[in-house]
Every structure is written in C-alpha cells, then in structure tokens.
Amino acid sequence: MTLETISENRSFAGTQGVYRHRSQSTGTDMTFGLYLPEAAQFGRVPVLWYLSGLTCTHENAMTKAAAQQWCDEAGIAIIFPDTSPRGEDVADDEAYDLGKGAGFYVNATQVPWKPNFQMWQYIVHELPELVSDNFAIDRDAMGITGHSMGGHGALTIAMTHPDRYRSVSAFAPIANPTQSDWGRKQLSAYLGDDEAAWRAHDATLLMTEHGYPGEVLIDQGSSDQFLDLLKPEALAHAMMARRQPGQFRMQPGYDHSYFFVQSFMADHVMWHAERLL
C-alpha cells in the first residue's frame, strides 16, 4: 500500500509525521498523524492510539493535546487517526454531529453511509497493519485512548478486542450513547433502527456485560458543558457494579476543551507506558 509523506517535523527528540494513504476500508484517501519517539531509532516501540472527537481531523489532538513530550520521555509512539472518511463523493450531513468528522468508530450498514463509513474496520484492522509495516511500531504492545466521541471509540474497541489492546483510557467519553442524543441519532443513521445492533457500541453496556481484563482510567471534567450528553454517571455506576479495576476521576472545574485534555495527558501517557513497556 502506497504511503505518502505529507510532513515530518522534529519534536522532543522524536519525529511528528503526517501521512496519507488510500484506504481499502473507507474507499477514500485517509490522513493520520504519527509521533515516533527517539527510542524508535533503535527498535520497535509500543504505540498509543488516540481517537479524536466530533468535528476533529487528525490534526486537532496532534497540535493541541501536548502528548509528544510525554510520549518521547516514555518511549512510546502515538497515532492520531482521522475521525471519518472525507472527499467530495463521501456522504455528509448539515449537522456537525453526523457525517464527515463524526464517524463514531462504527462500520455503517445503512445507506448512504455504508460505502465509506467503515471506521471500526479502519482503526482496528487496516491502519495498525499499515503502520507496523512501515514504521518501528510493536503491534503486540498497543494501548488506546480518546476524547469524547473518541473516548467512546477507545472504550468500545478495547472492551471488544482486549487481546489487541493492553491498556485503555478515556477523556470525557460519550459513555452511554444508546441513551443519549449523542448516540441515538448517529447509531440509528449508521446502523439502522434495530437497537440490538447498537449495544456493541455502548461503553456502559459493554462494561456491564464484559468489562475489561485490565485497569481502566477515565477522566471527566466536572464543569463539562456536555455532561448531560456524555452521561458519565452511567459508566461510573457500571464500573462500580462490576467492580471493574481502575479509576474514574471527576476533575473539578474542567470543561470539555483541549485545555482539559492537556492537563491530564501526562497522566494518561504514563498510565499506558506502565502497561505497555
């Protein structure tokens, strides 16, 4: 598979790259960011996947999350995928929370989304293979995290594939999408009206039914303007009921912005590094 280098910049002794390729999953060109720490010059390194939220591209977290310094210190790579397929022929919606920038990390089964919106397949299968074939990435040492819609994706993917992801965390995840307007709208559009098909993409339901074999770290701002849509209490209750090992931290005064993500990025990177190295 041909990989095009868009840019590569020196950063904290490592390299922040941006790359483009033709995706078999989405049928479109896809762009992603990849930070390789200095340690990647000497062998394969563990990798942390960072899934972004609604409206984001690969660039938002790459430039705003302040992850590179901590990843270089820990000796782990971090990947910033896009949140959806893009292109003139890709289906879209006028609303910001459906269509381009809002792939929700599912494999769409409904028209007009099905031909391109195969983000689960892209994130879980295609992109890991591509980066491990082209960079010094250890696919046997992968962790996953994300923010908002990306936190939803990180939790659901990790609980569905615990054999692939040795660590998981989330920033302000959409925690109970089958019971939220940030979820019901998108899941019905992408997956249809049968709510049974939605269950595989609800972190609270997956926590109740399966949990995660390792520890889970969740950070949520107490002043988040989207608390009623995120429904963190549902996930917290499910974790307690299951007695899931981990931490659910309600951080006082923080909102939903990348200032919140920056504030706790070091904690999350080191959390993953302890479990991946």
Residues marked active site are found at: 148, 224, 256
Spatial CB neighbours of 74, under 8 Å, sequence gap ≥ 6: 37, 269, 270, 272, 273, 277
Residues listed for the chain: 277
Q: Which residue blocks in 135-243 are alpha helix, DSSP H?
A: 149-160, 181-191, 203-209, 227-230, 232-242
Spatial CB neighbours of 143, under 8 Å, sequence gap ≥ 6: 46, 47, 48, 49, 76, 165, 166, 167, 168, 169, 272, 275, 276
State the Cα–Cα distance between residues 125 and 131, nearest whole angstrom: 11
Phi, psi of 165 (to 5 degrees): -120, 115
Say how many Å lie between the first and final Cα of the chain, rounded.
29
Q: 112: cis peptide before it, omega within 30°?
A: yes
State the Cα–Cα distance between residues 160 and 48, nearest whole angstrom: 17
State the Cα–Cα distance between residues 76 and 270, nearest whole angstrom: 10
Residue 106: closest CA among 51, 40, 163: 51
